[in-house]
Amino acid sequence: MSTMTETKPAPRRAKKAQASVLFDAPGPKARLRNNILTLVAAIVILGIIYVVVARFDKEGQLQGKLWKPFIQGSTWTDFILPGMAGTLKAAFAGAVLALVFGVFFGLGRMSDHKWIRVPAAAVIEFFRAIPLLILIFFVFSGPPTIANALNREFPEVTAFTALVIALMLYNGSVLAEIFRAGINAVPRGQSEAAYAIGLRKGGVMRLILIPQATTAMMPAIVSQLVVLLKDSALGWIISYEDLLNTGYRQIPTQYGNLIPAAMVIALLYIAMNLALSYLATWLEKRSRRSRKTSAKTLGAGLSGEVMSA
């Protein structure tokens, strides 16, 4: 009768700091040095905050009367909420059009036909290279100026229309590159298997590549949409009634509280961006639970980089 020997689990060893690919694991002296540097940096930052707050207090910018307008309902109903509605309206319209623009030209740049691929690439590179502020100015005042020079009539371009078109052209060009990179991130074997079972390129793109690439692209798309939301603040330069215009220009004009207004408006922008990021994170987790993908997730920083062809 054979006896079974019971294997005992190996005793747990104390966890050691594992070395990274870029640097070795810090030893006791390095950890002590890092802790000291962290403490010094925290003291310096707290000192800077104290100096700034003390300076504001000395200049009278922290007085209660300057903050009182923000606890009045009329300030929110007359200035902040209408400005926030203008910001969200421009950002939403610009985001929808930029996504459509990005998909159209991103797929166009991946076309097998040169007469489609080359113009699409030219449009993407052209609008991605122009500063957004110049693009807003050109869309707002360029067509009427050209029409007047040619003695032709041209309908007036509203501030909302100019801002949305500029946001669409600039951010749509960046999103086109994100879409192209996301589709290229799907392993080639996925499309080869689809072609092997008789699917055409349209079916491969619609059924195989885009569903997998969407999940991989989500962080980069969200990052660019957050950039678009912040870029909508540039509309104040053409007097568009957004949160920056009503909150940072009109409220200080009424109450003389420039610094408090800047702080409140900055907090509202941060809250909107965090809400957008939270919504996108929820959508990404939901899509990953319901869809399997072999594509690697694109980093959020990809939206700000120049991606190679």
Tens of pLDDT, residues 246-269 = 888 888 888 878 888 888 899 999
Structure tokens at 8: 């005992």
Which of 207-216, 232-241, 263-272 shows the lowest mean pLDDT across its residues?
A: 207-216
The CB density around residue 21, as the number of other CB atoms within 10 Å, is 4
pLDDT above 60 (res 161): yes
pLDDT (tens digit, 9 = 90+) per residue, 107-136? 888 888 889 889 999 999 999 999 999 999
> 8 burial class (0-12, 13-18, 19+ CB within 10 angstroms)?
exposed
Please give the class, per CATH, of domain 92-235+279-304.
mainly alpha
H-type helices in 232-301, by residue range? 243-244, 251-255, 258-290
**Which pTM value belongs to this model?**
0.74
Amino acid letter, residue 9: P
At residue 299, the pLDDT reads 56
pLDDT score, position 111: 84
pLDDT above 90: percentage of residues in the chain: 28
- Pairwise CA distance, residues 21 & 124, whole Å: 36
Confidence of residue 308 (pLDDT cuts 50, 70, 90): very low
Closest listed residue to residue 218, CA positions, set 288, 156, 269: 288
Write the DSSP string, 67-104. HGGGGSHHHIIIIIHHHHHHHHHHHHHHHHHHHHHHHH
pLDDT of residue 3: 47
Residue 100 is predicted with a pLDDT of 93
Across 100-104, 207-211, 232-236, 257-261, least confident range: 207-211
Query: In angstroms, what CA-CA distances link 290 with 27, 72, 169, 215, 279?
Result: 43, 46, 32, 10, 17
Across 241-248, average pLDDT: 87
Kindly report, residue by residue over 38-85, the tens digit of the pLDDT.
Answer: 999 999 999 998 888 888 777 777 777 888 888 888 888 888 999 999
